[in-house]
Chain A
Amino acid sequence: MSDFIQSLDPRIVRLQVREDQPFEPKEAGDQWETYEVFHQAKTGARLIHVGSLHAPSPDLALVFAKEQYGRRSTTTDMWVVRTADIFTLHRQDIDMFETAQEKLHREPQGYMEVRKYIEEFKKRQQQEGTSDGSEAGSH
């Protein structure tokens, strides 16, 4: 059969590929479904979303994730979850995280004046203490 491609790659020669190799276009679902991958790089660190992959089941998703997202970094834990199982907001509703006014009542900056009150208090105490002393002396 001379119509196989005479490739420079011996692997391709063994595959016996023809120039007019037939191909059936992929149908939806050919590449299975998607999973999201979370990775922990060291103990004590948070698991971080590192990307997604295609798999037919959770066990294979984890087998695939181990190499695609763990082969070049230290890994202390890894999770996979079906993308379809993740619940999130519509993008147009993300603006609900914007707040209309300052929320100083729940920020540390809302409580920065204690020092001022303490200093004022101390000053007052000192002044009062001085007058107390003079009063005591007049006993």
Chain B
Amino acid sequence: MDPKQEAIKELLIKMADDQLIIGHRHSEWIGLGPILEEDIALASIAQDKVGQSYTLFQLLHDQFGTADPDTMGFLRAENEYRCCHLVEYPNGEYDFSLIRHFLFDHAEYHRFDMLQASTFEPIRGIARKFKSEIKYHILHADVWVRRLGTGTEESHQRMQAALETAFPLALGIFEPSPYEQVLIEENFFPGEDALRQRWLETIQPILEEASLQMPDPSSVEPAYGGRRGYHTEHLAPLLEEMSWTLRYDPEAERW
């Protein structure tokens, strides 16, 4: 296939995989959150993520003839997924879930902001619509991170510890694609480095307001591998669970 097409396809697949897997993780909190009102808020964010993933898989199907969204999202082999390690980790407690949501969504916001100017025309309108949903996601994340970072001694320590765990994983979001040069030259997407820069500039002041110490990115080993199909031990069981019903009867045409 044309390397330009491959480049876009690869970009869209990793975005769709990230959205689906983090949405799936968020959905595990439904009915079990810290207070009813927050339960509802996070459940909406989870739906937005899974819904965005669906839209991207549909776009892939229409533009590049990939399999239908359910097959792509639920039934590929583990090493065909291109999500980053950050989204694969189990929820743990609310501290990790929130910090992950914070780190991930700021990157997403900038990614779609950049894609609004892409020369790959079909993504532009989608990016604009996604951005308005993600605007709420980052508002939600920022309020929580600020409040918990400056809440009690316990909440501060938990958030700091969660940040230290999640930060190297979050740097894995920006693992360069084999098509980085093509994406940049063709003005499809300004590239992971540019995104990472904007992301760092955004999150640093918020973390400061939250009294949280951001690890020095230059001294942290980023968790790479996900974009090439090498995943943590958490992804395979997640996929097995997620596809359980679909695989229960492969003959079924409709569920």
Touch A–B, Cβ below 8 Å:
yes
- Taking Cβ atoms with an 8 Å cutoff, the residues of A that contact B are 10-11, 14-15, 31-32, 53-57, 59-60, 63-64, 66-68, 71
A10, A59, A64, A71 interface centre (most CB from chain B within 10 Å): A64
Q: On chain B, which size bracket covers the interface?
A: 10 to 19
Shortest beta-carbon distance from A12 to chain B in Å: 9
Shortest beta-carbon distance from A67 to chain B in Å: 5
Q: Is B32 an interface residue (CB 8 A)?
A: yes
Shortest beta-carbon distance from A18 to chain B in Å: 16
Whether A67 contacts B40 by the Cβ 8 Å rule is yes
12 new A-B pairs (CB below 8 Å) besides A10-B241, A60-B144, A63-B140?
Answer: A11-B28, A14-B90, A31-B35, A55-B37, A59-B143, A63-B139, A64-B37, A64-B40, A66-B41, A67-B40, A67-B43, A68-B41
Shortest beta-carbon distance from B34 to chain A in Å: 10
Determine which of B44, B90, B143, B144 lies in contact with A67 in the assembled complex, contact meaning CB atoms within 8 Å.
B44
Q: Which residue on chain B has the smallest CB distance to residue A66?
A: B136
A32 to B136, CA, bound (A): 23
Whether B136 contacts A60 by the Cβ 8 Å rule is no
Q: Which residues of chain A have C-beta atoms less than 8 A from B90's C-beta?
A: 14
A32 to B38, CA, bound (A): 13
Q: Which residues of chain B have C-beta atoms less than 8 A from A54's C-beta?
A: 35-37
A56 to B146, CA, bound (A): 13
Whether A63 contacts B143 by the Cβ 8 Å rule is yes
Q: Is B124 an interface residue (CB 8 A)?
A: no
Whether B147 contacts A67 by the Cβ 8 Å rule is no
Shortest beta-carbon distance from A87 to chain B in Å: 25
A14, A32, A54, A67 interface centre (most CB from chain B within 10 Å): A67
Q: Which residues of chain A have C-beta atoms less than 8 A from B139's C-beta?
A: 63
A67 to B37, CA, bound (A): 8
State whether A63 and B41 are in contact (beta carbons under 8 Å apart), knowing that A10-B241, A56-B147, A57-B147 are contacts in the complex. Answer: yes
Q: Which residue on chain A has the smallest CB distance to residue B45?
A: A67
Whether A15 contacts B32 by the Cβ 8 Å rule is yes
Some 16 contacts from A to B, beta carbons below 8 A apart, are A10-B241, A15-B32, A54-B35, A54-B36, A54-B37, A56-B147, A57-B147, A60-B144, A63-B140, A64-B37, A64-B38, A66-B41, A67-B40, A67-B41, A68-B37, A68-B40
Shortest beta-carbon distance from A8 to chain B in Å: 12
Shortest beta-carbon distance from A69 to chain B in Å: 10
Whether A53 contacts B147 by the Cβ 8 Å rule is no
Q: Which residues of chain A have C-beta atoms less than 8 A from B144's C-beta?
A: 60
A68 to B28, CA, bound (A): 19
Q: Which residues of chain A have C-beta atoms less than 8 A from B136's C-beta?
A: 66
Shortest beta-carbon distance from B184 to chain A in Å: 36
B28, B41, B140 interface centre (most CB from chain A within 10 Å): B41
Q: Which residues of chain B have C-beta atoms less than 8 A from A59's C-beta?
A: 143
Shortest beta-carbon distance from A116 to chain B in Å: 60
A32 to B43, CA, bound (A): 21
A133 to B120, CA, bound (A): 90
A68 to B40, CA, bound (A): 7
A31 to B39, CA, bound (A): 13
Q: Which residues of chain B have C-beta atoms less than 8 A from A66's C-beta?
A: 41, 136
B6-43 Cβ-contact flags toward A at 8 Å (1 or 0): 00000000000000000000001000100111101101
Q: Which residues of chain A have C-beta atoms less than 8 A from B143's C-beta?
A: 59-60, 63
A16 to B35, CA, bound (A): 20
Whether A71 contacts B44 by the Cβ 8 Å rule is yes
Give the 5 A-B residue pairs with the shortest CB-CB distance, closest first.
A64-B37, A67-B44, A67-B41, A11-B28, A67-B40
Whether B37 contacts A11 by the Cβ 8 Å rule is no
